[in-house]
Structure 1
Amino acid sequence: MRTLVARLDSDGDVLLAGPAIRAAAASGEVVLMCGPGGVRAAELLPGVNRIIEWECPWIVNPAPEVRPIDIEAVVALVHGVRADVALVLTSFHQSPLPLALLLRLAGVPKIVARSTDYPGSLLDVRLTGDPDVPEAERALEVARAAGFELPPGDDGRLAVLGPPELELAELSHPYVVVHPGATAPARTWSPDRWAKAVVALNAAGHRVVVTGGPAEAALTAHVAGACGTDLGGRTTFRELSGVLAGAEAVVVGNTGPAHLAVAVGTPVVSLFAPVVPAARWAPHGEHVLLGDQHARCRNSRARECPTPGHPCLDLVEPAEVVAAVAEVTR
């Protein structure tokens, strides 16, 4: 049995597909189709035998041009996979049908997805309704509809391959990780609030390590200031998993490393803006949620905060973060 699993979004989305992928992998080979923003996470997932990277024009942001040659190429690529079944995993605001059409043209004999729209002959198994459940469970329901179950002993939690041994002199235990960045600014705290939280955590006796990608070096330097250790741009995604695994707690916005922290078993203090529902997207593991979940931006899916002052998060005080870290590290 060869299963094609499609999750075309970013790292966090791909990590949340992990339980569904493990269920499919219990019955055979899994080929994971993901976008360029999800490849780093895909490489860490147990059960993935092969990765196909595709920049899908109706998923990624900013969206690339739709060109016939690209569509023909991906159809040919999928045809070469010779999948027995495909699981199309989407968020509640996405349709699986455009991709299902391409998979059908590629000769995939069985396609399973959740769709509120009439799928015609595009889907063989269609889940209807839109349950307000964590995204990882929503994806696992699709796998189960295809006949896959988690193997015995698998609790369905997020998981990644074992983190690497790190040789960073700055990582002196114990420490708390602060990860201030996010691809959507509306989904994280303002930089000055992060910087004040680092000072507050340091004053409370915590050693603070600030993490971020290469494009976030200026942000992490500002946030770390004189009180934190700045690792911005110095770790790969896999190495970041090791940094998070060694932490007592991770303080982070709604972004991929929040889910990576859960996958390595570290509790999360989540600065969570309600632009997407917390019931679906909050960390799928031990966490404390901070932020006004009834703010005006609720369910707007905004990437930039639509309310002056970013009140859903910026009214959270650094002392609340210190208290939340104390709660999850007891």
Structure 2
Amino acid sequence: MKIKSFLNYLNENNIKKAVILKKENINYFLERYPPTFSILVFDVKHDRAVLKVPKLEYRGALTYKNKYLDIELFEKIEEVFKGCDGVEDSLPLKFLKYLDNYKIISDKIREMRRIKNSKEIGLIQKAAKISDKAIEHATELILNTDKPITECELAAEIEYIMKKEGSIKPSFDTIAVSDKKTALPHSMPSSNTIKNILLMDIGAVYEGYHSDITRTVILNQDKRYKDIYNLVNSAKTEAEAYLKEGVSVKELDSIARKSMGKYEKYFIHSLGHGVGVEIHEEPAVSSKVKEDIILKEGMVITIEPGIYLDDFGVRIEDLYLVKRNGFKKLSNAKIMEY
């Protein structure tokens, strides 16, 4: 159990009371989307965790109670921090006035979050199925209509499907861009009519756990589009061939880059990243990381090679569960063949 494991860590490091405000970290320990206003306190002396909530959240918060977790009301924030000596590195400065001596606990939480348990994997898989359905719907729509569709209209359609299928919200601002805008990795939708080439990067959130998938769809017969698309897809396949427990993130990133040959210089971001209660979390799958993390069974990462030329770009991304002798692909929307 995560809560018990973290209490043991605090005890071993002589931390008596730790307070967590970051919603994603609370989500991680609850394994459910947390109440809107809530603070999680670990009390080592009493060997328990307490979810502190104001009155407007109390009745709803009672459903979170279990043998590891109590629910308590609080009225003043300073009450929560009383006796606290363990905090996150993201703690807002305005709360430091309530503390004297303290230790930072975030590194341990980030380390714990790297490996997903079976419940977390199930939630991520559910989020991935939602985004699969949305991106397949959008692809079919754009390929089977003669009616002009704008980028914003398609983005709205994607988000509608994700909501309909049970996503709390998009993981990030939905990317649905076309033509020259595909050359910009984080370009946002506009009122431009979709033409020539379409890039969609989307994510769903289920019980606070995220998915992430990117598909590129070619809408004309330009051979340059197809050649770059196939090169990116090959780089992704090459990385997949090496993906398993024991491989370093730097090595995996380098394998994909080298497979691009002279186009490597147009691959301007990392190969991937961890996914969980945040859309970007450890481990970063990059050859530039300071700590060369070795992949372990239970990690969930993306592989998303991309090539971005002056007038267009291509990115293809999927979500993977690292296993001892390979991987399980969690996103399964169809990849186009050209």
Fold agreement, TM-score > 0.5: no
Higher CA-based Rg: 2
